[in-house]
Structure 1
Amino acid sequence: MKVQELREKSIEDLQGTASDISEELCKLRFQHGIRPLENTARLTELKRDIARIKTVISEKKKTN
């Protein structure tokens, strides 16, 4: 997910996206605990996406 795309969204949309990604991350972590994942890099990608979203949310809150 690109930062430019995130900056165009509203705070509510960003929070919804963050919660969706968090759910997906939780499911993948659970699956990884049961058996190894084929693409473990996906866990890192999701964590970084969440961090990007939270950064954009805090930037938007500071400017408003």
Structure 2
Amino acid sequence: MKIDEVRRLTSDQLAEQLLNLKKEQFNLRFQGATSQLEKTHRVREVRRDIARIQTVLRAKAATA
């Protein structure tokens, strides 16, 4: 997910996306612990997407 895409979303959409990414992160960690993780690069992508969304949410909260 690109930063431009994140900035276009509303706060509600960002919160929903953040929840989905947190669930995916949990599932990926669980798969990694049980040695079933195939796409190891996805862990890094999800972690960075979470950080992007949190950054944009904080910026929107500061301006509001």
Please give the range of the TM-score, normalised by the shorter of the 2 chains.
over 0.9
1:3-42 alignment runs, 5 A limit = 3-42=3-42
Where does the alignment leave 5 or more consecutive residues of structure 2 unmatched? none
TM-score normalised by length of structure 1: 0.92
The answer to whether structure 1 residue 48 and structure 2 residue 48 are counterparts is yes
Identity of aligned residues (%): 39
Deviations 1:5-60 (Å, cap 9, x if unpaired)? Answer: 11111111101000001101101110110115222111011000000000000011
The runs of at least 4 aligned residues of structure 1 exceeding 4 Å deviation read none
Distance (Å, rounded) in 2 between the aligned partners of 1:38 and 1:9: 30
Q: Which amino acid aligns with 1:11?
A: S
User: Match of 1:46, as an amino acid?
Assistant: V
**How many residues get paired?**
64
The code of the aligned residue for 2:60 comes to K
What residue ranges of structure 1 are gaps of 5+ in the alignment? none
